[in-house]
């Protein structure tokens, strides 16, 4: 195991403690550089450092509670930010925290609870230019 288990609400399994599952057979991502199953030693070290810094700053639970997609683990989520910043941990952490701040400020998570009609209805009220 990669560390102490963190309790999830209501006794549910926590995605923080799950190991990523292999990507779909035809995707090619299992062997792609910078992805979980093919990390170079320096990339794996950057992932560990980012996880440790998230945990130390209290942002690990914040990240998992807001943005994990189904079947996504915190490791695969962190890797998206690390790849986007060439595995520079400082830049990846700043990018991730800015993204979390934006999601909270804009209420992005509330979209998941809304119906398609509720999300798209404001679009019908937007004035359209005359042809």
* Residue range 54-78, pLDDT digits in tens: 888 877 777 766 656 666 778 888 8
**Residue 47 CB neighbours (<10 A):** 21
CATH number of residue 51's parent domain: 1.10.8.20
The number of distinct structural domains making up the chain is 1
Residue 77 belongs to a domain: yes
In a domain, 7, yes or no: no
> Could you tell me if residue 11 is inside a domain?
no
More confident site: 114 or 90: 90
The answer to whether residue 44 is domain-embedded is yes
The per-residue pLDDT for 11 is 43
Answer yes or no: is 115 within a domain: yes
**Confidence check: pLDDT of 37 > 80:** no
Residue 131 maps to a domain: no
What is the average per-residue pLDDT within 97-115?
83
Q: Which of 46-55, 58-67, 88-97 has the highest mean pLDDT?
A: 88-97
Residue 13: inside a domain: no
Specify the pLDDT at position 47.
92
Q: Which domain holds residue 116?
A: 28-124
pLDDT at 55: 86
Output the 3-class SS for the chain.
CCCCCCCCHHHCCCHHHCCCCCCCCCCCCCCCCCCHHHCCHHHHHHHHHHHHHHHHCCHHHHHHHHHCCCCCCHHHHHHHHHHHCCCCHHHHHHHHHHHHHHHHHHCHHHHHHCCHHHHHHHHHCCCCCCC
Q: What is the pTM of this model?
A: 0.63
Name the more confident of 121 and 97: 97
In a domain, 130, yes or no: no
User: What was the pLDDT predicted at 62?
Assistant: 73
């Amino acid at each position: 195991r990669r560390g102490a288990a963190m309790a999830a609400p209501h006794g549910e399994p926590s995605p923080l403690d799950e190991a990523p599952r292999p990507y779909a057979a035809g995707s090619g991502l299992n062997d792609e550089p910078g992805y979980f199953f093919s990390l170079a030693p320096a990339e794996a070290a950057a992932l560990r450092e980012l996880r440790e810094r998230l945990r130390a700053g209290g942002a690990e639970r914040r990240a998992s509670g807001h943005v994990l997609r189904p079947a996504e683990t915190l490791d695969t989520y962190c890797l998206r930010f690390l790849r986007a910043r060439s595995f520079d941990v400082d830049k990846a952490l700043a990018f991730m925290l800015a993204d979390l701040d934006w999601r909270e400020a804009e209420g992005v998570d509330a979209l998941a609870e809304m119906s398609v009609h509720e999300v798209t209805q404001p679009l019908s009220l937007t004035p359209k230019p005359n042809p």
